Amino acid sequence: MGGVDTDGGVEEGDERRAASRRYLRQENGAVIDRSTKEAGKRLKQVVLESLYVVCHWTGVFKIFYSLRRRTTLILAYHNVIPDELFDESIHLGTGHRVSEFQRQIALIASRFKIITDFSASGAGKCIITFDDGYANNIGAAEQLTRLGARGVFFVPVEPVLTGRTLVIDQVLLWFSYVPKGSYVVAGKTISIADDGRAEAFSDFYQWMLAHVERWKTVPESLDASYPLAKLPVPKMLRDIRFRPMNLEELKRLAKDGHLVGCHSWDHRPLAALSDEELCKDFERCESQRWIFNTNAYCYPFGHPAEVDDRVMCACEAFGYECATMYTFTEGKTVNRFALPRLSLPPKLSRYSLDAKLSGFESAIKSVLGRS
């Protein structure tokens, strides 16, 4: 999915308190003042950024680049949107502006050999992957081709065949643009405020995980509460962000040397499915395997909550050679059905980019006990 982190909390509070202070409820029930938390985060970022500048000029990053990798680094992207269409909506929480993407891949290309072979070993190699298969990925592929590089595009099968937007992206679309107010969806009351959309979505996503049998009917329920077609999203953004690539477009990607891999049938959280449904998902993909030109697989969502041992076993049983998680653990994973991927948030400075790509940031966090 191309949206916000689903580990968020739930915002609450009455009108008076909300007007003066905003609170975030954490999982353990403690209430933290959000503005203090954000100020702390900003301060930490300033300190880290200064450290990264020093590391750059003293050659520390170069040492980390040369030391850290025995395995190929795998990067994860989602949507790459033209600058003029990009907004700060939650459905673009993991998206990048074209200009940001260009800056990042130029730096990546100068630090790594960009490859598409998941079985390759040796230092200094990097695979660039994209998830979900929306139309904007065509432009991202062209950017890579211009650099002489190729990418791996993981697409769910059902949208390719039907042209339908994934359920999870319809949900993100709704939470991004529905007017402020209170709505009842599938018996749940949802309060939408401009600064609480991510939390409202996270809360609703947790409900979806617990009611996966109702997954496919969710857009219908949202639509009944406020029509998806009436959401105030510019048409060009809707087309490029929510229209899946079709077969012809995928064929062109493959013809240009990019890889197209499987990202499940319809992007449901596989760990939440029954054995029978899980098997059916892989079987449906199997019937359309001809779409793909790589045996690498990418789990939908890809966090531990959505991928368990049962899912990994099914993936191996259906003949895939490896699978990626949407998580990153520096140099620890040897399981080829849980290959870690690193995502690069937008708006990173060149120093922060080097800190992430070289493994320096990960090492620092692990020293501080926060890996």
132 vs 199 by CB, closer to Zn ion: 132
Q: Which residues contact 16 (CB under 8 A, 6 or more apart)?
A: none
169 vs 354 by CB, closer to Zn ion: 169
314 vs 355 by CB, closer to Zn ion: 314
CB atoms within 10 A of CB 245: 24
Asked if residue 95 lies in contact with residue 78, where contact means CB atoms within 8 angstroms, the answer is yes
Tell me the residue number closest to Zn ion, measured at CB: 131
Asked if residue 100 lies in contact with residue 347, where contact means CB atoms within 8 angstroms, the answer is yes
- The two most distant CA atoms of the chain are separated, in Å, by 59
Which residue do the tokens 């959401």 mark? Answer: 231
Applying CB under 5 A, the residues found at the interface with Zn ion are 1, 131-132
Supply the minimum distance, in Å, between the C-beta of residue 1 and Zn ion: 5
65 vs 242 by CB, closer to Zn ion: 242
Q: Take residue 364 and report the two structure tokens written for it.
A: 């620092």
Supply the minimum distance, in Å, between the C-beta of residue 57 and Zn ion: 38
202 vs 358 by CB, closer to Zn ion: 202
> What residue type is assigned to position 197 of the chain?
R
> What residue type is assigned to position 343 of the chain?
S
Supply the minimum distance, in Å, between the C-beta of residue 298 and Zn ion: 7
Supply the minimum distance, in Å, between the C-beta of residue 297 and Zn ion: 12
Asked if residue 150 lies in contact with residue 116, where contact means CB atoms within 8 angstroms, the answer is yes
CB atoms within 10 A of CB 14: 7
8 vs 302 by CB, closer to Zn ion: 302
153 vs 183 by CB, closer to Zn ion: 153
Q: Quote the CA–CA distance of 217 and 230 in Å, as a whole number.
A: 19
Q: Which residues contact 226 (CB under 8 A, 6 or more apart)?
A: 174, 178, 179, 183
Q: Take residue 83 and report the two structure tokens written for it.
A: 């600058």
Supply the minimum distance, in Å, between the C-beta of residue 267 and Zn ion: 6
Supply the minimum distance, in Å, between the C-beta of residue 263 and Zn ion: 6
Asked if residue 183 lies in contact with residue 193, where contact means CB atoms within 8 angstroms, the answer is no
> What residue type is assigned to position 212 of the chain?
V
131 vs 266 by CB, closer to Zn ion: 131
Supply the minimum distance, in Å, between the C-beta of residue 132 and Zn ion: 4
Asked if residue 145 lies in contact with residue 256, where contact means CB atoms within 8 angstroms, the answer is yes
Supply the minimum distance, in Å, between the C-beta of residue 32 and Zn ion: 30
